[in-house]
Structure 1
Amino acid sequence: MKSKLTSLIVRTIKVFFLFFSWLPMKKRLIVFESFLGKQYSDNPRAIYEYLKKVHPDFRMYWSVDRKYEKNFLNKDIRTCKRLSFKWVYLMARAEFWVTNSRLPLWIPKPKHTTYIQTWHGTPLKKLALDMEEVYMPGTNTTKYKENFVNEVNKWDYLVSPNAYSTKIFRRAFAFKGEIVESGYPRNDYLINSNNDYTVSKIKTAADLPKDKKIILYAPTWRDNQFYSKGSYKFNLQIDLEKMREELQEEYILVLRLHYLISENIDLSRYGNFVYDLSHYGDIKDLYLISDILITDYSSVFFDFANLKRPILFFTYDLEQYRDTLRGFYFDIEKNAPGALVKDTLQIIYEIRKVERNGYNPSKIAREFYNKFCYLEDGNATKRLVEKVFFK
């Protein structure tokens, strides 16, 4: 009964969408969306804020998932609830769509709309058509790839952070449109706002102590660990008690779980050492205030590398993730810009080593920066806007 009702609602929305899309385009109307309407963040946010400052004549709205409306409060932005009547009207009449993830598959793109897909990371793990097997719930390998191609066919522009990504995106997405190799707009912030004033302001807003260094743990999700479609489990493998025992005098640990992960971890027994900021608005602030990043196979390390700070890779399930779940585009064991560690004791050892010796980037880390971060000069958003919105 529920599935029939959902199907009826989708059909009704689609009828309205088609009707409104026949009406004339509203020039300079843009609808933005980040991570399926869950966040005001990432590349869409950088583009929005640049246009608001430099070209205020655009009329701009943010698509918001009803369950995440609190993330958009007090932001001084126009919003529309995702899949609402207002959303349908705006999407159908817009001159531009800007998003970093996929839109609902059933949405037809009006001929007058330009769809700008910013994506959300430099790829380490294999994407889309490059994946040999898909383990996500609610789909299979063939269906997943077909749906992905159908979505990609709507894109007019795809944003790339570097030449490496451009080559992969073209093949993995089977994208035939124009790729704008501009650098990632979201990383302009890391270049232009990397100062003591901004760091202090962020720590105050997040209610974090200012007398401690920050370790940021930002892992990705596992395709085969889930509750339901779009809702993933995560088993925290770090021994938080051991971390606190060894490091609490100098550090705090900030957790930032992937937006698809649904866990609510009880951290009450770890006092003022562990902070869960998984629902903090934009991860770019957490990069800026962190002294060390711990991740696994998430693309966050490509962005954090712009800050030239220590990165550790907690790869306790490397063989399974690499050989079964996803596979990688390059050999992380040889080319990672930081140490690979398998357990909590190794994490602590590497952090202590940085404490003793300071951070001296290895040859691999320097080569990594030159290969992946060379376009990140604080002007990526400007390049993209001038290329796409004022072509």
Structure 2
Amino acid sequence: YWIATSEYIFLDNAFLPLAYCNLSKKTKVIQLWHGCNAIKKFGQSYNTGLLKKLEKKLAEKYTYLILNSENTREKYKEAFGVDDSKILVTGSPRVDIFFDEEKCSILRSEFYKENTLLEEKKIILYAPTFRDNQSNKLSEELYQLADGINEDSVILLRLHPSLNESIIIPKKYKSKIINMSGYNNLVQLLLVSDVLITDYSSIIYEYSILERPMIFYSYDFKEYSNNGRGFYEDYENYVPGTVCYSLQDLIIEIRKLEVDIDKVKYFKIKNYEYRDGKNMQRILRILN
């Protein structure tokens, strides 16, 4: 009923049932997507068979696909299977909040009210990409990582929902590792963290707005390159931080944390044409 009677439909994912809906001619479908850009391939660039056909059929319903930068155009045209007429480079509304210092300050304060013991800690946010059969390796390496970091540091763990419940943190490590995978406000976690550890996740695009250090723990880079989704970019030269291929290298990198922030700033400018917090306003002006 709501789909049939709506003038506007905003999506942030591949809502496949919409592919089979007969929409009114007045209905505008705006795909905002949940990632600001992508390192690893997705959508039409990667999927096959029925899923690829369904995603293509869904893309035919789109009125507009929202991008943050011209830098993303060709990549997203391929991934979504759309042409230039459907693309709007207005900036994504999901990042507007990062440019509102008052709101960011409130979110940081609210986080520390709930987590008072973390206020004096150096916060390391670890947000790895989902992998099959990852939980056992992840658990063991987390414990080693916790042993290797300084006493004034804490690891906030942000996992894919399907892995969240498979991670059990022993009492010994509860002060050094906190599983925040079920925490609803990812923006808060980004705002309070001092450094991000990830691998192939699009979270780096949001984090670059904050101009803070990132470290890339890509222990399975060759396997992921050859047998995984594959990359749109030359990964090792593209990411705005040091790439570590072993846990030992990761621990060393965290301890010294010599990150080229200028590279992070360049990455931010390259991926965000608009950095004024007015992306939603631009979209609404076009729709109205």
Same fold (TM over 0.5): yes
1:13-28 matched pairs, under 5 angstroms? none
1:159 Cα deviation after fit: 0.9
Moved more, 167-176 or 296-305: 167-176
Whether the 8 Å CA contact 2:213–2:264 is kept in 1: the answer is: no
- Of 109, 128, 146, 1:200 maps to 109
Whether the 8 Å contact between 1:234 and 1:263 is mirrored in structure 2 is: no
Residue 238 to residue 216, structure 1, CA distance change in 2 (3 Å)? farther
Q: Select 2:207's aligned residue among 298, 304, 327.
A: 304
Whether 1:155 and 2:90 are equivalent positions in the alignment is no
- For 1:187, which of 76, 95, 106 is the aligned residue? 95
User: 1:197 offset after TM fit, Å?
Assistant: 4.7
Measured after TM superposition, the shift of residue 314 of structure 1 is: 0.8
Change (3 A) 1:281 1:169: same
Match of 2:41 in 1: 126
Structure (1 or 2) with the larger CA radius of gyration: 1
Q: Matched residues in 1 for 2:38 and 2:273: separation? A: 16
Q: Over residues 85-141 of structure 1, what are the superposed CA-to-partner deviations in whole Å (9 max), with x where a residue is unaligned?
A: xxxx3232222211210213364042142211101210111122222xx4xxxxxx2
1:320 aligns with 2:227: no
**SS at the partner of 1:115?**
strand
Cα shift at 1:207: 6.1
Native 8 Å contact 2:16 2:55 kept in 1: no
Matched, 1:172 2:74: no
Q: Does 1:373 find its partner at 2:275?
A: no
Name the structure, 1 or 2, with higher relative contact order (CA <8 Å, separation 6+). 2
Distance 1:104 1:208 in 2: 43
Q: Is the 8 A contact 2:16 2:54 kept in 1?
A: no
For residues 137-286 of structure 1, the aligned pairs below 5 Å read 141-176=48-83, 177-193=85-101, 196-205=105-114, 209-222=118-131, 225=132, 235-236=137-138, 239-247=141-149, 249-259=151-161, 261=163, 263-269=165-171, 270-286=173-189
Kindly tell me: are residues 348 and 238 of structure 1, through their superposed partners in 2, closer, same or farther at Cα, counting changes over 3 Å?
farther
TM superposition shift of 1:219: 1.4
2:6 alignment partner, one of 76, 91, 94 = 94
The two structures have a TM-score, normalised by structure 2, of 0.88
Alpha-carbon separation, structure 1, partners of 2:271 and 2:204: 11
2:27 alignment counterpart = 113
Contact 2:90 2:283 in 1 (8 A): yes
Aligned residues: 282
C-alpha displacement of 1:208: 5.5
Gaps of 5+ in 1: 1-88, 135-140, 227-231
- Please report how far the alpha carbon of residue 190 of structure 1 lies from its aligned counterpart in structure 2 after TM superposition: 1.4
Structure 1 vs Structure 2 CA RMSD: 2.4
Q: What is residue 384 of structure 1 aligned with on the other side?
A: 283
What secondary structure sits across from 1:253 in the alignment?
Answer: strand
